[in-house]
Chain A
């Protein structure tokens, strides 16, 4: 296989990381909402944790993007 084609395929495969990020973000917001519906008075206090968890989960998907960019441009 040509190297150029293999690079493209590799970069595309690296985007599978998005599945994990999607699962994580959905899970965080879903859990936060269901917990906030049960106990609305405690919801506001956990909002910073929600943002923190969201950013941490989102970053894992972006690591996949970085891998794709490294494959495309650095090699």
Chain B
């Protein structure tokens, strides 16, 4: 393993090289971990709901907890109208969470530490929320950019600011997740290199940092999902 803390983010192709036009569509370690993430989630839910009972066993309890956690999150932030989007938010949350957690395993690859992955997720959320907003409110969805109670002479400035802040949503949503993951894993690697020189007492520091990273992995998945809910709330319940 190279000493460079950035080498862990390297994407390399596994198996045969597939090239269509100018696009390299080879199966990479990034795709492998994405497939692995989906397999882990599916397997877990299939096994957990195998023997459904009124008094749940441990695995069914965890599955129900994840289900209820997302359900509560949606109803608290986006209201009743967001109910149909529950499967999407649940799969989004689980995908980001499990991808983050799989990345915490030693020598594995963190899918979410690449901006193209998180940007693709965030961009589709952005497009979807905009489409939902226009489908529900028609052209009056543009009222989102005109906050009520603003003096008329301030409106030209406010509208520009609101439009820019709306358009920067996918960027901030994706950069937040990607930067957190990348910074965390770089930090772990750098501190991991200090273990011997920190001595017997200080050498335990990376263990604490690993705990912190596990927390961050969960928090970032939570924030990604809850911000999606908040954007959805803006699109569904247009009130000012």
Residues of A within 8 A of B (CB): 48, 51-52, 54-56, 58-59, 62-63, 65-66
Give chain A residues whose Cβ lies under 8 Å from the Cβ of B7.
none
Known pairs A48-B226, A52-B226; A62 contacts B219 (CB<8 A):
no
Contact B223 A62 (CB under 8 A): no
Give chain A residues whose Cβ lies under 8 Å from the Cβ of B219.
51, 54-55
Give chain A residues whose Cβ lies under 8 Å from the Cβ of B183.
62, 65
Give chain A residues whose Cβ lies under 8 Å from the Cβ of B175.
59, 62-63, 66
Residues of B within 8 A of A (CB): 73, 76, 172, 175-176, 179-180, 183, 219-220, 222-223, 226
Contact A66 B226 (CB under 8 A): no
Selected from B73, B76, B179, the residue in CB contact (under 8 A) with A62 is: B179
A-B pairs, top 5 by smallest CB distance, nearest first, are A62-B179, A59-B176, A55-B223, A66-B179, A55-B219
Q: How far is A66 from B180 in the complex, measured between Cα atoms in Å? A: 10
Contact B179 A55 (CB under 8 A): no
Give chain B residues whose Cβ lies under 8 Å from the Cβ of A59.
172, 175-176, 179-180
* Total A-B pairs, Cβ < 8 A: 36
- Expressed in whole angstroms, the minimum distance between the Cβ of A43 and any Cβ of chain B is 16
Contact A56 B223 (CB under 8 A): yes
- Expressed in whole angstroms, the minimum distance between the Cβ of B70 and any Cβ of chain A is 12
Contact A51 B180 (CB under 8 A): no
- Expressed in whole angstroms, the minimum distance between the Cβ of B78 and any Cβ of chain A is 14
Q: How far is A56 from B222 in the complex, measured between Cα atoms in Å? A: 12
- Expressed in whole angstroms, the minimum distance between the Cβ of B126 and any Cβ of chain A is 17
Q: How far is A54 from B179 in the complex, measured between Cα atoms in Å? A: 15
- Expressed in whole angstroms, the minimum distance between the Cβ of B117 and any Cβ of chain A is 15
Contact A58 B222 (CB under 8 A): no
- Expressed in whole angstroms, the minimum distance between the Cβ of A47 and any Cβ of chain B is 11
Q: How far is A56 from B73 in the complex, measured between Cα atoms in Å? A: 17
Q: Which residue of A lies closest to B172 (CB)?
A: A59
Contact A62 B180 (CB under 8 A): yes
Q: How far is A62 from B216 in the complex, measured between Cα atoms in Å? A: 13
- Expressed in whole angstroms, the minimum distance between the Cβ of A15 and any Cβ of chain B is 12
Give chain B residues whose Cβ lies under 8 Å from the Cβ of A66.
175, 179
- Expressed in whole angstroms, the minimum distance between the Cβ of B1 and any Cβ of chain A is 21
Contact A63 B179 (CB under 8 A): yes
Known pairs A51-B219, A66-B175; A58 contacts B226 (CB<8 A):
no
Give chain B residues whose Cβ lies under 8 Å from the Cβ of A54.
219
- Expressed in whole angstroms, the minimum distance between the Cβ of B71 and any Cβ of chain A is 14
Give chain B residues whose Cβ lies under 8 Å from the Cβ of A62.
175-176, 179-180, 183
Give chain A residues whose Cβ lies under 8 Å from the Cβ of B76.
48
- Expressed in whole angstroms, the minimum distance between the Cβ of A9 and any Cβ of chain B is 21
Q: Knowing that A51-B219, A59-B172, A65-B179 touch, tell me 9 more A-B residue pairs with CB under 8 angstroms.
A: A48-B73, A48-B222, A52-B222, A52-B226, A56-B176, A59-B175, A62-B180, A63-B175, A66-B179
